[in-house]
Structure 1
């Protein structure tokens, strides 16, 4: 069968939009995967080409009659039915066969197919997205562990509003005429439903750039909330460096600790179950 095909990756758009040239889909908060089904055998690969077939036995029985290569996202759902990235991370970390079998019961995965790359040996990548979508609908059947994505034509703003109301990750905008390329492309865009928070900088890393962040916890005391490494422009780093020295209160082998006098606003994917910022990115200093 075909060699490993790497997935088409997304660029980022700053906001949702309406455009007749696009379709819009929910962005699934899971792990990207390429599934190959050939002669009754299934193989599953990560976006980096690592085979993870044995991790997900519930995905071995792909609901297709044909030989296919599918692109999609593997996700876990919590007890409420909501997609939960932390559950997916925990499931992916399980390597023991016995524990994987148990996880199929308490943390089963679902594959959300959103593209078809190969059908019965025919490479479909140079077809327009709309043609590939029609082929996918014809050959792929949903089941307990296999689903398709809601697809909305032209009206991205309405879909983003619905996604935001449900506190989901965001949406994806795809040009209807886009061909499939194994690289990041402006023809596929992600629009993230960011969560914002105001945090205190309580220290900085020694070995690499990073600001220790804290927020008020129970009782009003500050508690650790993660490390800010992303989105900080050179001018912000320079401004921080110019005022930080008088705030130093101690250090150890890895961190310098500061009085919590500097506040910043960050954007992030969401709060983790442990109360940490997930993938936080600097937005601005808060001057009061």
Structure 2
């Protein structure tokens, strides 16, 4: 979020101007007591439990913009001063003083405790993951180990109903859970275990495409091959999924 002589503007992390999508936040942004600023934050919408709901965010942006919040976690510029060489803890102290309590622009409070404990609590609460930054770090654009996003994952057994093996692309198994197609999971096994999987696949090959999946370029399998897959928690379909193990079901 930027405020300067041209007014308030909102940009995504990839540089897209989404100001028109976030008009509901514009008045509160303009009311912050500063002539100019660059604030880094995350737009969210909350569920009935008051937790951030990633899946509801897209529809809220287009249909319920009045439900959006902007959670601010870093301050890069203020009133013409570049703050990026200050330590994060000092930038956040200034940011917290800038943002009024109780509005739709909120200061992102840090959670006390070790990283492992905070990560465990976030995953148990059904959140997407945690973001952590070193308190003494200066701000630098791009990838850095001073700034980490760690996502929550879960593992579950599902039916392997097909495989995709295309030249130049990672191999993938296609999964179903109680008859419902869930998507694909990457195969990252070492050579011997990978070959054992392909042997099982060969013995199951030849099934017709499941209903609704005829256009998928895949080898479809007869029932009986089960895989344990690791994927992002709280997703309706597999995201960032990988196959951890497999077995035949007799």
TM-score range, shorter chain: 0.7 to 0.9
- Check 1:69–1:267 CA distance in 2 against 1; reply closer, same or farther (3 A cut): same
Distance apart, 1:134 and its partner CA: 1.1
Q: Provide the residue aligned with 1:47 in structure 2.
A: 13
> Does the CA-based 8 Å contact 2:88-2:136 persist in structure 1?
yes
How much has 1:234 moved relative to structure 2?
5.2
How far does residue 243 in structure 1 lie from its aligned partner after superposition? 3.1
Query: Following the alignment from structure 1 to structure 2, what is the Cα–Cα distance between the partners of residues 258 and 38?
Result: 59
Deviations 1:50-80 (A, max 9, x none): 1111111112121521111011111112233
Once the two structures are superposed, residues 166-217 of structure 1 have per-residue CA deviations (whole angstroms, 9 ceiling, x without a partner) of: 222222232111111111111122333322211121012365543210112x
Tell me the residue number matched to 1:250: 208
After superposition, the Cα gap between the structure-2 partners of 1:185 and 1:282, relative to the gap in structure 1 and judged at 3 Å, is farther
- Please give the residue correspondences for 1:46-125 in structure 2 after superposition, counting only pairs within 5 Å: 46-61=12-27, 62=29, 63-66=31-34, 67-92=36-61, 94=62, 102-105=63-66, 108-125=67-84
Per the alignment, in what secondary structure is the counterpart of residue 244 of structure 1? helix
Helix, strand or coil for the counterpart of 1:50? coil
Alignment partner of 1:130 is 2:89: yes
C-alpha distance in structure 1 between counterparts of 2:41 and 2:247, whole Å: 40
* More relative contact order, 1 or 2 (CA 8 Å, 6+ apart): 1
Aligned to 1:277, the other structure's residue is in SS state coil
Q: What is the TM-score when the length of structure 1 is the normalising length? A: 0.72
Q: Distance in 2 between matches of 1:260 and 1:142?
A: 56
User: Normalized per residue, which structure has more strand?
Assistant: 1
* In the alignment, structure 1 residue 226 sits paired with structure 2 residue 183: yes
Distance 1:57 1:199 in 2: 43
Whether the 8 Å CA contact 1:271–1:278 is kept in 2: the answer is no
Report what 2:4 is aligned to.
38
* Correspondence list, 1:195-234, <5 A: 195-205=154-164, 209-216=171-178, 222-229=179-186, 232-233=188-189
Distance 1:76 1:237 in 2: 42
Provide the rounded CA distance (Å) in 2 between the counterparts of 1:70 and 1:232: 39
Preserved CA contact (<8 Å) 2:152 2:233: no
RMSD (Å) for aligned C-alpha atoms: 2.5
Matched length: 236
Instruction: State whether residues 197 and 246 of structure 2, in contact with CA within 8 Å, keep that contact through their aligned partners in structure 1.
Output: no
List runs of 5+ in structure 2 lacking aligned partners.
none
* Deviation digits for residues 197-243 of structure 1 (CA, Å, limit 9, x no counterpart): 11121012365543210112xxxxx22122213x6245354443333
Map of 1:263 onto structure 2: 226
Q: Larger C-alpha radius of gyration, 1 or 2?
A: 2
The question of whether the paired residues in 2 share the 8 Å contact of 1:110 and 1:147 is answered with yes
1:114 and 1:87 map into 2 onto residues whose CA distance is: 21
TM-score, normalised with respect to structure 2 = 0.82
Matched residue of 1:136: which SS?
helix
Alpha-carbon separation, structure 2, partners of 1:233 and 1:59: 47
